[in-house]
Amino acid sequence: MSSYAAASEAVPITGEATPVSLCAREPHVPADRLVGELVPPPRFDSVRFDNYIPDPQQPSQAEAVRVLAGFAGSLGGAGSADGARKRWFRREAAVPAGPGGVYLDGGYGVGKTHLLASLWHATPAPREQKAFGTFVELTNLVGALGFQHAVQALSGHRLVCIDEFELDDPGDTVLVSSLLGKLAGAGVRLAATSNTLPGKLGEGRFAATDFMREIQGLSARFRSLRIDGQDYRHRGLPEAPAPYADAQVDAAAHRTPYASLDDFDALLGHLARVHPSRYGALCDGVDAVFLRGVTPVEDQATALRLVVLADRLYDREVPVMASGAPFDQLFSAEMLAGGYRKKYFRAISRLTALARDAKGLAGGAA
């Protein structure tokens, strides 16, 4: 069974090859679990500064490792969580030594997430005093808990890492910037990355000035680390594997332990009734997802919910086998050219990778 699974009110998985339906699950996730799950996903469990291999032709990579290792070491004496919480309730701003935050400025494929997760692992603080999540996970946390409760839940941390800081939604950007401002005032150190929009692939990165401008008053707290390197992901969208027939998906689902089986349209409807912060719990105990009748998504709100589910499945390395349309046809050309295009490109890439992982589940199916 998946090591990422945790107790919830979702329908249990028995281990027998009888698939469950994600649509039958109504998980209710307590606040402490939402915060406790803000850790690097399983695929980054083993990353460390030591196994990041800097390109000798790109000295900025080795320099980033050196600076981040020093930043992690500086967090060892940052004080207790109780002390940080007392500062918050007394509204006393702690002034940390050195930069209050670091921003990793680089294009796709240079190892920013590897370095950010390595920083989390290297920080000498208990697991419950450091957090790692994507920008979307932070916005979902605030949506689930409310702003003040989210601040209180994180203000005792020594480090909060935000991967893939997104600048495509002004409202969410202001929300997360306000959250980080409150956390910085409580003495929490911050680290962040962001990625290039697909429409700016030729540029290779968001400029650091874009990030600093969007976080407004927080910019003085961040030290920008530029990470140069070859962009291995700028090769266009990957070609998705050919979809299977419904009968092949059904047969594979019924012979695969810890599997879920759903009609695609029904699952999309169910996602609208479950808060995105609970999508991780929705997947508890599921080691493989089987979908019948994948069709292009036309509604943007539905598409954005699907992006979050794709992220949670990718984090957990859950293969996806599907019939219907291939995953590279999920979103229209208009969506892929719009303001949320980075999210859609990421979802296609991740679902395609999970579809490739599912090939072994198909048995003798072509």
Summarised one tens digit per residue, pLDDT across range 130-157 is 999 988 899 989 988 999 999 999 999 9
- The predicted model gives 194-206 an average pLDDT of 45
pLDDT of residue 165: 81
Whether residue 216 is predicted with pLDDT greater than 50 in this model: the reply is yes
Minimum mean pLDDT among 20-29, 125-134, 236-245: which range? 236-245
Q: Residues 248-262: pLDDT tens digits?
A: 999 999 999 999 999
* Numbers of helices and strands, H then E, in the chain: 14, 8
Q: How confident is the model at residue 42 (pLDDT cuts 50, 70, 90)?
A: confident
pTM score = 0.73
Spatial separation of the C-alpha atoms in residues 7 and 260, rounded to whole Å: 17
Backbone angles phi, psi at 154, to 5 degrees: -105, -10
- The residue behind tokens 């940080």 is 84
Whether residue 45 is predicted with pLDDT greater than 60 in this model: the reply is yes
Task: Let me know if domain 56-226 sits in CATH 3.30.2320.
Answer: no
Q: Which one is predicted more confidently, 201 or 163?
A: 163
Minimum mean pLDDT among 199-203, 219-223, 252-256, 358-362: which range? 199-203
pLDDT of residue 16: 53
Whether residue 175 is predicted with pLDDT greater than 50 in this model: the reply is yes
- The residue behind tokens 């940390």 is 96
> How do beta strands 222-226 and 130-134 pair?
unpaired
Q: List, by residue range, all CATH 3.40.50 domains of the chain.
A: 56-226
Task: Give me the residues paired with residue 324 across strands.
Answer: 294
Q: Residues 84-136: pLDDT tens digits?
A: 444 333 343 333 334 689 988 877 668 888 999 999 999 999 999 999 998 88
pLDDT of residue 77: 53
Minimum mean pLDDT among 184-188, 192-196, 271-275, 297-301: which range? 192-196
Three-point CA angle 227, 229, 231, nearest 5° = 115
Q: How confident is the model at residue 80 (pLDDT cuts 50, 70, 90)?
A: very low
- Residue 299 in contact with residue 335, Cβ under 8 Å? no
Spatial separation of the C-alpha atoms in residues 154 and 159, rounded to whole Å: 9
pLDDT of residue 248: 96
